[in-house]
Amino acid sequence: MTSGITFDRLPELAAQFNLCFRSGHIYLEGQRMVLLHTGALGALRRELVDTLGLDRTRGVLTRMGYASGKRDAEMARQLLPHASDEDLMNLGPQLHSLEGIAHVIPIRFDIDVAGGRYSGDFLWEDSFEAAVHLETFGPYHEGVCWMQMGYATGYTTAIMGKSVIFREFDCRGKGDAKCRIIGKPVEDWGDEITEELQYFEPENVAEQLVALQDQVEHLRYSIDEETTLGDMVGVSPAFRETGEIIRKAAESAVTVLLLGETGVGKEMFARGLHQLSPRADSAFVAVNCAAMPEELIESELFGVEKGAFTGAQQSRPGRFERADGGTLFLDEVGELSQGAQAKLLRVLQEGEFERVGDTRTRHVDVRLVTATNMDMEQAVREGRFRADLYYRLNIYPVIIPPLRDRREDIPLLVDRFLAKYNARHGKRIQGVSDRAITALQAYEWPGNIRELENMIERGVIIADNNRQIEVKDLFPRMNLSSRYTGDPQPAAGEPAGGEIAGPVASLDELADLVLDRQASLDELEPRLIRHAVRRASGNLSQAARSLGMTRPQLAYRMKKYDIPGEA
């Protein structure tokens, strides 16, 4: 069908712009946009030309425009899921105008997606790219609207489902009154576009660099998983403060107790402390005390002599001996048996121990770092943990902040995990969408960094190559309203937090109600906890699940707000 472009939907499209002044966000139909001075784009163009030369710069800008056009085409299909071919094609030039690129005047175009037929002839008035090039470099001998050509090609190719190439025949950048472009399927151009086609393909050098980077990342994560504090990422005040405390501890031989919720990365901080210490060239040995059967903890830590018990077929050293000269990290130290606690205290006091089934005393030089998410003072009061050992371990306590206190670090952590799991699973995922990042930063993270890492790995596996990870890939049980604000919403029929119900229609309305009553968070949180405990008839595990947290996290908050109950 031969058609003319109308701009009837331009006001409707303009209404899709969402300017969030306080947060500094601009969205167009859920996609984050930015406003840039054309002078800044001119400076970028000059930098690219000076660094890469005109020909390579043309390729970079063409591919950049192509990606933008392709993304706008995907947005057009979301906006008009039942639109005709003509309506979809109409939307591209309207988006071009709305985004400040150029005013599009159709000469003619003919489109039939089902029949694979396309032909288009357009004028661009007041092309921003031609103006930028003229101001920066002066007139050129051929068309210079490279980014716009890429956009038209990307948009039309995505709509048609086949390659449609546009060429610029007139351009203000070479002295013409207006810019004129013609587009048709690649096969209809024949050999005329051999030169143009190369600008849509990444250069071989770039591909080799990407392949080399993939190999480096694969080696980095598959050969050596150990992480130093310098490798850990974070810009938040909580991360920087904790890092500084760890660095000060590393300079001495003091016993360190790492405290924090499950999944905050206590072992990573312990490894970082070891790498910053004078013992960095010696062994770092990690033990999860909660993962070992109680009857084997002592033999694992201190070693065993042949015949000490059934199954001890040979003598073997324990973790203390393996860590001699280095650092021993005991995670979940609160789970140690009374016998193991007594031996550990002796090692800390005297630097000596005996293997299970042996009478010979052995001496070791070990830097001890321990960690727990348990309330150790309560364990001491209840007699589950020796008070004298606790005081020896608690010389230098360090509280590792939960991820909800490190929201600024989430994009950096996402990039790190994305690189790791792209390498591990052989994928080429092109990042995480703006919406998904916003959703990740709005989430409360009961599982902390471990939960984030698992979520990104799942997203890498689910998402297709050369695409971004979207919210649905990260939160499979959530749905999103068309007026998405960044907060993951529960799926239909699934109460938020597992237990919340009542006359309030949505969490937004509940938030409005709380704000209208001028209730503070410090008033709201203890009240919510009391309701959850009451609903669960005092069953704290059930109450914790209904609040989306672990029992230790609930116990911590009950103690904080002096809420009675067996925490």
Q: Most confidently modeled of 319-323, 513-517, 531-535, 562-566?
A: 319-323
Average pLDDT over residues 295-321: 76
Instruction: Dump pLDDT digits (tens) for 364-406.
Output: 899 999 999 889 999 999 999 999 999 999 999 999 999 999 9
pLDDT given at position 486: 45
Binning pLDDT at 50, 70 and 90, where does residue 54 land? confident
Q: Report the pLDDT averaged over residues 505-531.
A: 73
88 pLDDT band, cuts 50/70/90, is: confident
What share of the chain has pLDDT > 90, as a percent?
A: 34
Give the model's pLDDT for residue 224.
43
* pLDDT at residue 276, as a whole number: 92
Structure tokens at 324: 């001699």
Position 273 scores a pLDDT of 94
User: Contact 101/126 with Cβ under 8 angstroms?
Assistant: no
pLDDT, average across residues 15-20: 64
The residue ranking higher by pLDDT, 523 or 327, is 327
Each residue of 404-414: pLDDT tens digit?
A: 999 999 999 99
Q: Which of 169, 187, 173, 153 is nearest to 62 (CA)?
A: 153
> Is the model's pLDDT at 496 over the cut of 80?
no
pTM of the predicted structure, to 2 decimals: 0.51
What pLDDT does 49 receive? 87
Q: How far apart are CA 251 and CA 81, in angstroms?
A: 62
Kindly list the structural domains of the chain, giving each domain's residue range(s) and its CATH number in brackets, ordered by start.
Answer: 2-201 (3.30.1380.20), 237-400 (3.40.50.300), 498-567 (1.10.10.60)
Average pLDDT, the chain: 81
**pLDDT tens for residues 320-361?**
889 999 999 999 998 888 888 888 898 888 888 888 777 788
Q: According to the model, what pLDDT value does residue 226 have?
A: 40
pLDDT at res. 310: 58
**Burial of residue 272 (number of CB atoms within 10 Å: 0-12, 13-18, 19+):** buried
Task: Tell the burial category of 441 from Cβ atoms under 10 Å away from its Cβ (0-12, 13-18, 19+).
Answer: middle
The CA-based dihedral angle spanning residues 430, 436, 442, 445, taken in that order and rounded to the nearest 10 degrees? -60
Report which of residues 119 and 496 the model is more confident about. Answer: 119
357 DSSP assignment: T
> Contact 203/53 with Cβ under 8 angstroms?
no
DSSP conformation letters of 120-132: EEEEEES-HHHHH
